[in-house]
Amino acid sequence: MRTILITGATSGFGKLMTQEFLAHGDLVIATGRQLVQRNEIFSTERQVYRDRLIEIDLDVTNFQQMLTAFNLIESRFKSLDILINNAGYGQFGALEEFRPEQVRDQMEVNFFGTVNVTQTFLPLLRQGRGKIFNFSSVFGFMGFPLTSLYCASKFAVEGLTESLRMELSPFGVQVCLIRPGGFKTDFGKNLLWNVKAHNSQYVGYVKNYQKLHDYFSEKKTQKPEEVAKGVLKLSLKRNLPMSKVFGQDGRMSYLFKTFTPDFIYFFLFQRILNKFMLDRTNKL
């Protein structure tokens, strides 16, 4: 029986992966902010899987909670088979209008949170010759306007993951990057839009992008179970790939970005975005 640690397990991909790994017969340590107090999240799983589900409060920016979780897991299991760094959130808006603390918080959760958790649990992963899955996104290999903070945090996760893959290979620890496209999760509902006063130079730009994002969010048909099942399947492989893109939109975006010359890519991409995001705005 494998021991799996999942961050950001309170909803979305994190909760679905917890369910998938439990159903497979693994022991899952589900973590999230104030998870223990929110009994309803895993009420069914708690009854069905009993001792194979462990719930721990873990804010990935809280070092005391990190240490508490490490001590508990080390004392009970001595090693860790799989770490899934899934915790994160998004802030969209014009870079010029973000406050310094907003910029730092985006990086603190999405990037430094991944760093903090990985650093903390690496001794247990080395002991178990385990596997690490770091969640990125289409926004981790493609930059979009009004998403600079989120993209920067995910681009950073990608660089971290690629380096760690080589750094940890001599110790038998494998690292894989997960790149989901657009799936029906709570990400859109929890997304923070930085919309300023009516006299902002960006107000129309941001509102049009918000409408565009909401429109496509409603049209999404890709089920997040694809990602949860896909990560489980990957975890069973003897050798992990460097990365895995999920979703038809994600795969098409990856191919478009990878194989289109830069001058063509940016020309086409900018024309498409301008049509949908600028035509109805005030002239910038």
Are residues 28 and 6 in contact, defined by beta-carbon separation less than 8 angstroms?
yes
Which residue segment(s) compose the domain that 78 sits in?
3-195+222-258
Determine contact, residues 132/83, Cβ cutoff 8 Å.
Answer: yes
Tokens 């048909």: give the residue: 221
CATH number at residue 170: 3.40.50.720
Number of domains in the chain: 1
pLDDT digits (tens, 9 = 90+) for 13-42: 999 999 999 999 999 999 999 999 999 999
Half-sphere exposure for 1 (CA within 13 Å, toward CB): 11
pLDDT in tens, 186-243: 787 788 998 776 778 888 888 888 888 887 777 677 899 999 999 999 999 999 999 9
Question: Sign (positive/negative) of CA torsion 58, 160, 233, 11?
Answer: positive
Residue 91 covered by a domain: yes
In a domain, 87, yes or no: yes
Catalytic residue among 150, 202, 209, 254: 150
In angstroms and rounded to an integer, the radius of gyration of the C-alpha atoms of the chain is 20
Residue 153 lies in a domain: yes
254 tagged catalytic: no
Three-class SS state of 241: coil
pTM of the full structure: 0.93
**What's the CA dihedral at 40, 42, 44, 49 to 10 degrees?**
-150
